[in-house]
Amino acid sequence: MEDTPMDDGTVALETPADNVFVPPSIHHAATLSGETYTHFSAVPPSLLPEPNTTTTSSSSSPSNPSSNNPPCVLGVDEAGRGPVLGPMVYGVFYLPLSLSDALLKQTYHFDDSKVLTPTVRSQLMQALCTPSTDLFDSCGWAVSCLSARDIGANMLQPASSAAYNLNAQAFDATVELIKGVFARGVNVAEIYVDTVGPPATYQAKLARVFPTTKITVAKKADSLYPCVSAASVCAKVTRDAALEVLYEARAAGDAAREGEGEETEQESWGSGYPSDARCVSWLRRNMHPVFGWGPECRFSWGTAKDMLETKGGVKVEWPVEEDDENSRLTDYFADSSKGKDADELGSWFGTPAGLEAF
């Protein structure tokens, strides 16, 4: 898979800020090991039922949210669908219906993360994560970080397996995030989603999972609905920070291998998009002939596959086992050039030597 070409201005906006805020949604151990994970912020107390209000278990389910909770609007958006490096991050953002425009649009000026500068995105995320701010006290959010390793592994499954393409992975991440918000007791009354594919088709799929909630799926929803803009910022800043964590770990490892005290200045991988010359240059410089790259790379992307095939990567062909049940251990060691009647154990351990050998 490849992303669509980007001009220099877009590449600059997609590149993390030098001092990007590292939010609590960065789980360092999982990020560095290439694991997919989900992070939920604490639900603001103002969005939960009053302490003296009792709620039955059935009333807090996604199909029948508690009417005692303030009705909330929830937005969904992603960041990093097209890059060859780093995770794809899905974000959800929720707050009371009455605050959506006033707080997000008029006070904080949230917008599609792709039109906000990296510094502005980072500052908005920091305000959201700072206790005592009105954003922190009134809003909740969550992200699902789909690691580059897992994206590639799912897309490169054998042909005999059921395909698990990027759209299916994105849909599952969206559903699990929304279910997680419901499970935490939030009364989600309306859901707004930036579409993946035809809006009507995607909306119908979500409506089958959440039949009692008003759902709107639209193109450019991150520019139309403030809650989607905020979800876009949560996803983008989390991805930016993940890229920085991965790059710093990779750079530290390279420096350690080259020797203590020797500092090497290398150009960073930039935005991680194939249309970013810094990204392609970094991939070429750091490609291992057998293993390629680390958990930061999506091996299913055409950029990575083509580079391995044409720039010196070692091609490994795994044998197809036609009748695995009848295989014998010695079949893996026998010298096939000696025919069927060859001494199987002898060809591995050696044959006995008679007196004539001495």
Single-letter amino acid, residue 123: Q
> Quick one: pLDDT at residue 327?
58
Average pLDDT for 34-46: 96
Among 74-78, 84-88, 260-264, 303-307, the minimum mean pLDDT is found in: 260-264
pLDDT of residue 57: 42
Q: Binning pLDDT at 50, 70 and 90, where does residue 180 land?
A: very high
CA distance 145 to 57: 30
Residue 172 three-state SS: helix
Q: Do 145 and 89 contact (CB within 8 A), yes or no? A: yes
Segment among 108-117, 150-159, 193-202 with least mean pLDDT: 150-159
Residue 72 has pLDDT above 50, yes or no: yes
Higher pLDDT, 345 or 31: 31
CA distance 110 to 121: 9
For residue 59, the model assigns a pLDDT of 40
Asked whether the predicted pLDDT for residue 144 surpasses 80, the reply is yes
In the block, tokens 């009455």 appear at 98
Closest by CA to 217, choosing from 76, 79, 81, is 76
Q: Higher pLDDT residue, 23 or 162?
A: 23
Query: Which residue segments constitute the domains of the chain, with CATH numbers given?
Result: 17-245 (3.30.420.10)
Q: Give the pairing type, strands 140-146 and 88-96.
A: antiparallel
Using the 8-state DSSP alphabet, how is residue 86 labeled?
S
pLDDT digits (tens, 9 = 90+) for 85-115: 999 999 999 999 999 999 999 999 999 888 8
pLDDT value at 189 more than 50 = yes
Tell me what pLDDT residue 15 has: 76
pLDDT of residue 17: 67
Fill in the amino acid letter for 80.
G
- CB of 3 closer than 8 Å to CB of 275: yes
Q: How much of the chain exceeds pLDDT 90, in percent?
A: 55
Tell me the C-alpha distance between 63 and 55, whole Å: 15
Instruction: Give the chain's mean pLDDT.
Output: 83
> 24 is written with which tokens?
């609590």
User: Is the CB of residue 37 less than 8 Å from the CB of residue 27?
Assistant: yes
The pairing of strands 72-79 and 188-194 is: parallel
| pLDDT classification of 58: cutoffs 50, 70, 90 | very low
pLDDT at 49: 79
Reference 75, options 249, 231, 215; nearest CA is 231
**Best CA proximity match to 169, nearest among 180, 179, 156, 154:** 154
Q: pLDDT tens digit string along 289-341? A: 888 899 999 988 988 988 888 876 566 665 655 555 555 555 555 555 555 55
